Amino acid sequence: MSRLRFFLSDVSAAAVLSLILLLTGALSPVWSRPPTQPEVIAAGRTKDATKSSRKPSGPSFDVVSKRSPESVADLRAIENRVKSLAKKVTRCTVAVRRGQAQGSGVIVSQDGYVLTAAHVCGSAGRKVDFTLFDGRIVKGVTLGLYRTVDAGLMKITEDGEWPFADMGDSTKLKLGEWCVATGHPGGYQQDRPPVLRLGRVVLNRSSFIQTDCPLVGGDSGGPLFDLQGKVIGINSRIGASANWNFHVPIKSYSDHWDRLAASEVWGGRESAQGAVLGVGGEDHQQGCKVTEVVPGYPAEKAGLRVGDVIVRLDDKPVKGIGDLAERIREMRPDAKVKLEIIRGVETIEKTVRLASRR
């Protein structure tokens, strides 16, 4: 049986971090205090620079490419890799303020283009303030929005050369791959640099990436990095569990860069929010076996139980947790769906009204 948790990867990043803290005591916190002035991390970026460069080699990358760490030495290698990235990834992470609303973003070009979520932008042509890693506030404007996947683009409008991160390739991500998310949970705080969280890739689909990097409100629009320090996604939606987090794939930005930069707005607002059923699961030979039912969400209200096997969704076969998750996410909140469930020796049908992501 192929096992894949909807909320957690096979090896919980939280558990790995706990082990690292216990064994080495060196990840508290993982960032270093920012200097007083920004620096340009790399040369100017053009649109073609979104292509991934040659992958670094060495013992550290051998370790982080493993499905799970096998020793204390592996844990320390992962820790060292994350620590080596911390300065770079936090320097290009910005806090975003639009009126009273707050979010996060990431600078991806020397001249100040900023990736964020569409719901952080709100609409095109709005004035925004960016707070940089060193506390400086600079002016900017919202540009294009691809609402269907929740992708948004902004631009710093002041002159300068800004610290930035290169855009990676989200199509090559593997399940279980290590990643780090940065942002400003709870909103910008003057005495705290951007916060970094380590996690794993749980699902990778064309319209979203799911990870177990713990996120909270204020992280929306912040970047998701691979362990080469390249942006692979943008924080979009936070689900019922602290480990149920969705990100816009970076491909959604690179594929539509010209439209976003031209301040086009397209796609549906509702579909950007997506829908939620409220279960954790794993692949089963007959569909998706429910391993968790989240309190207060549609699955619980409809009477689903741990151990149920969801075999059909709206009369179409369910081909595992990944298939179920992607199909539910593409539906609109408040849509009614019919589930066919095997419970013991019984086959049961349930009609469930989906909810929106919180």
**Catalytic residue positions?**
119, 150, 220
- Please enumerate in sequence order all residues whose Cβ is within 8 A of that of 199, keeping only pairs 6 or more positions apart, or say none: 9, 13, 178, 179, 180, 181, 211, 212, 213, 214, 243, 245
Q: How far apart are CA 276 and CA 297, in angstroms?
A: 8
Residues 330 and 274 sit within 8 Å (Cβ to Cβ)? yes
C-alpha closest to that of 253 among 138, 128, 153, 340? 153
Q: In this structure, what token pair is assigned to residue 31?
A: 């960032």
Residues 256/246/178/7 CA torsion (nearest 10 deg): -150
Q: In this structure, what token pair is assigned to residue 273?
A: 């929010």
Residues 204 and 175 sit within 8 Å (Cβ to Cβ)? yes
Q: In this structure, what token pair is assigned to residue 265?
A: 């707005």
Question: Other C-beta atoms within 10 Å of 73: how many?
Answer: 11
Rg (CA), the chain: 20
The C-alpha angle with vertex 149 and arms to 145 and 150, in degrees rounded to 5, equals 50
C-alpha closest to that of 133 among 107, 109, 152? 107
Tell me whether strands 223-225 and 355-356 are parallel, antiparallel or unpaired. unpaired
Question: Other C-beta atoms within 10 Å of 328: how many?
Answer: 20
Residues 154/159/160/163 CA torsion (nearest 10 deg): 0
Residue with tokens 């199509």: 171
